[in-house]
A and B are shown apart, each in its own frame.
Chain A
Amino acid sequence: MNNMSELRAKCKERYEKKLSRPRVVVGLGTCGIASGGDRVMKAIKEEVAAKGLDVDIDFTSCIGMCYREPMVEVAIPGMPSVVYGDIYPDKVPQLLESHVVNKTPVYEWAAIQIPGDATPLEGIDIMEKAPYYEKQVRSVTSRLGRTNPESIEEYIATGGYEAIEKCLKMERQAIIDEIKKSGLRGRGGGGFPTGNKWQFVYNTPGEKKYAVCNADEGDPGAFMDRSVLEGDPHAVMEGMMIAGLAIGADEGYIYCRAEYPLAIRRLNLAIAEAEKHGLLGDNILGSNFSFRIKIKAGAGAFVCGEETALLNSIEGQRGMPRVRPPFPAVKGLWGKPTCLNNVETYANVPNIIRNGADWFAQMGTDKSKGSKVFCLTGKINNTGLAEVPMGITLREIIFNIAGGIQDNKKFKAVQSGGPSGGCIPAEHLDTPIDYDSLAAIGSIMGSGGLVVMDETTCMVDVAKFFLNFTQLESCGKCTPCREGTKRMLELLQKICDGEGELEDIDTLERLAKVIKNSALCGLGQTCPNPILTTLRYFRNEYEAHIVDKRCPAGVCAALLVYVIDAEKCTGCGACLRACPSGAITGEKKQPHSIDVAKCIKCGACITRCKFDAIKKA
C-alpha cells in the first residue's frame, strides 16, 4: 500500500500549494447556479483576464447559506479568507479591485470569514461564531463549500480514502461492530440501526451481494442528499465501498433522481477518477477486495425512494414496492442479498471509521447519535443547509440558525418528514430533534427537510397539498393507498371549497386509521400523517372552514371575497382590465368596486394592483 501513502503525500503537497496562492472561489452547487453563480464565474474570469490579475480561479459546492447565494470566497495568503454573499456580476470589478488588488475586504458584502492561521478581521463574523453556524457541527458537510468537489486529490488530501485503507486491514466483522458501536441510524427516514442492517446482509449466505445507495431524495423541500452528492461525492462512494467490504459485495449501485443532473455528473466524474487511481475496480489498493459502482438515474416517481420499489426500478421495471419480507438484506437486487442505505448514512461511515465510533457517539442523544443535516426552507429569513447535533431543539434551529420568521410574521408550524411527516405547532418547538421525540408528537424525522410556515399558511390547504402529492404518487398497487388517498383528498377539497360538514372530520380520521394499518408500503402507511397532525394541532382551522365558512389564513379561494379599499384605490383601471370575468367596475380616477357574484377569485387583480388596494377577506 506504499503507493497510497505516496499518492496521499503528493495530493497534500498540491493542495497546500493551491492554498498558498491567492484564490477567488465561486460556489457552484445547484443553488449557486440557480441564483446566477455561473454568470458570476464568467464575470470573474473576464475581469481577471482583462486586468491581468495574479489570482487563481476555482469553484466549490454549497457552503449551506442558500439565502446568500451567489457566494464568492476570496482567499489571500496571510489574511483570513472571506466569503461574500449576494455577489452578482456587477459587483465583481469592485470586489476584485478592493480585495485582490488592494488587499482590503469589502466589509459590507462579507458573510463570514475563515481566519485559518491569520489574525481575524474586525467586523466580519468568524464562521464558527456566526449566528448561522454557531450551533452547527460540520462532519458530513465538512468539505461542502470548502474543497473542489471535482478533485479527487483534494478529497485525498483532506483525509479521504483513509477509512477504506484502514478497513482493508480489519476483520469484516470488526468493521460492522464499529458501525454498531457508533449508534449510526439510517438517515433516509426510518432510522434503522445501520450496523444491524449490515450484519443481516453479512449473515445471509450468498456468492453475490450488492451495496445500493438511495439517492432518490423524493421528499420535496429536502436537498441534503443533493448537497452531499454535489459537494463530497467521494465520501458517499467510500462509505459504499466500506459497506461492500464488510458485507461481502463487489458491486454497488447509486440510484439518483433525474432531477439532480449536476449530482449525477459529479458522481460520474468521481467514479472515473477513483477508477483511474485504483480506488475502485479490481484488487483495490493491492488487496483482494474488488468493488465497482454504477449509477442509475431515476425517471420521476416518489415511491421509488421506498427501498423495494427502488430495486424494481434499478431492474428497469415500474417502481412498485414488493411485499416484505423477504427484506432486501435477504432478497434484494436481482434476488441477491442487498444492503441499501441513504446517501447521508453512507457519507457518515468514513468519518466514523477514521475518528472512531466513540467520537461519533458522543454527539447526539442516548438513542440518536451523531449529527443530522437539515434543509431549512419556507417562511424563514435564512434558508439553507444546516448540520446539527441530534438533540438540538426545533426552536434553536428555526430561531437561531434560520434567523426566525420572514417579515416579522408569526410562526405557525414546521413540517418535518415530508409527505410522510407532520406539522408541528409552536407549543412543541422545544422538542429535541431525535427519531423518538419527533415520532412521539406525531411527526417523523424523515430525511431532514424542515419547511416552516407562518400565519399566512392555511393548514387545511397544506394537508390538501400533501394528499394531492401522495395521491398522484401512489403507485396503485394496493387498494387502501390508491383509493384511500383519493377519498381523503376529495374530503379535504370539499372542506376547502366551503362545503364541508363536521362529519367529514370523523370520516377523515377513520380513513386515516384504516390506511395506516392496511397499506402495502411506507408511502400509504404514512400518508395520513399530514392530516392527522393538522387535525391534532389545528382542528380549529378545519372547524372555521366547516362551521364559519372562513379560511383564517386567507388562502382557500372559495372562502374569500375580494374587496377594493376605496381609500387606497386611485382608479387607474389596471384591475378592471385584468379581470377576466368583468366583475370590476368603476369610473376612471374614481375608486373601483368588485361584484362578488361575478368574481371568480382568480387573484389577477391583486397581482396587477400597484397600490395594495385589493384585499382578500
Chain B
Amino acid sequence: MAEYDVTGETHKEQESPAKVVQEKKDPLQEDHRSKQFADLDRVIGRYSRERGQLIRILQKAQEIFGYLPEEVQAYIAEKIDIPVSEVNGVVTFYSLFATEPKGKYTLNICMGTACYVKGAQTLMNALKEELKIDEGETTPDGVFTIKSTRCVGACGLAPILVANEDVHGKISPGEIKKIIQTCRKGESVDNKKH
C-alpha cells in the first residue's frame, strides 16, 4: 500500500488480534464503531471549513480509532472531497500516523542521537528479547507494541523510554523488565526511581 514510507516500516499483512476482534460482527462492537464514525463526522465538520486541515483531521481520527485503517482514510477523503491517494500520501509520509492497530501499551525507545550514544540499541535489544517480538510488532495478546521514536527532547536524561505518553529517563535494561511487569498488572507505569 505504502509506495514510500519515511518511517521505513514494512506494513505487515498479518492480521493482528486487535483487528480480528474488531471485525467480528458483535453488536456491541458495531455500536462502538458507529460512535467512532459519528465522532469523526464531528471532527470533519469542525475542521473542514478551514483550509489546510487534513493533518489535523487525521491526528484527531487517529485519536478516535487508535490508528488509520484504509477504511477511515477513504471515509475522510470522500467527506472532504479529495482523492484517497492524497490522504494516503499524507498518512504514509508522516511517522506518527499508524496504519496498523497498536497494543494497549506502546513502548517506544528513543533512537535520537543522545539516546543512541547512551545505549538505546542495547535497550531495544533487551526489550525485543523480553517480549519476543520485533520492532513494529505487537505481542499476540495485544498488550505490547514495540516502536522506536524520534527524539522527545528529554535528551539530558538519555536513554529514554516512552510508555504510551509517559516519558521515562535514565532507563536501564533492568528497568525495562519492571515497566513490563507494571503494565502487565494493568497499573500505570511508575518505575521512576525510589
Contact = CB atoms under 8 A, between A and B. Distances in A.
Nearest to A294: B50
Given A220-B151, A317-B90, A377-B114, A34 B160 contact: yes
B156 A607 contact: no
Contact of A259 (B54, B58, B151, B170): B151
A30 B113 contact: no
Interface in B131-183: 149-158, 160, 165, 167-170, 173
Contact of B167 (A30, A316, A604): A30
Contacts of A261: 165
Given A259-B149, A379-B117, A604-B129, A315 B155 contact: no
Interface stretch (B11-19, B25-33, B35-43, B186-194): B186-194
The A interface is mostly helix, strand or loop, or mixed, namely mixed
Contacts of B54: 316-317
B113 A449 contact: yes
Contact of B96 (A34, A218, A219, A300): A300
Contacts of B165: 261
Contacts of A260: 152-153
A546 interface: no
Interface string A206-233: 0000000000011111110011000000
B83 interface: no
Contacts of B194: 36, 88-90
Contact of B193 (A36, A376, A451): A36
Interface in B64-97: 89-90, 93-97
A79 interface: no
B157 A66 contact: yes
A301 B95 contact: yes
Give the contact-size bracket for chain A: 35 or more
A301 B8 contact: no
A220 B150 contact: yes
Contacts of B93: 301, 318-319, 475
A318 B167 contact: no
A405 to B, nearest CB: 12
Contacts of A30: 152-154, 167
Contacts of B113: 220-221, 377-378, 415, 418, 449, 451, 465-466
Contact of A300 (B95, B115, B122): B95
Contacts of B155: 220-223, 375, 377, 383, 449, 451
Contacts of B56: 296-297, 316
A272 interface: no
A453 B156 contact: no
Given A88-B193, A313-B55, A476-B4, A384 B150 contact: no
Interface of B: 4, 6-8, 51-56, 58-59, 89-90, 93-97, 111-118, 122, 125-126, 129, 149-158, 160, 165, 167-170, 173, 190, 192-194
16 contacts: A31-B156, A35-B192, A35-B193, A36-B194, A66-B154, A88-B194, A223-B153, A297-B56, A300-B7, A300-B96, A316-B90, A451-B114, A472-B7, A475-B6, A603-B125, A604-B125
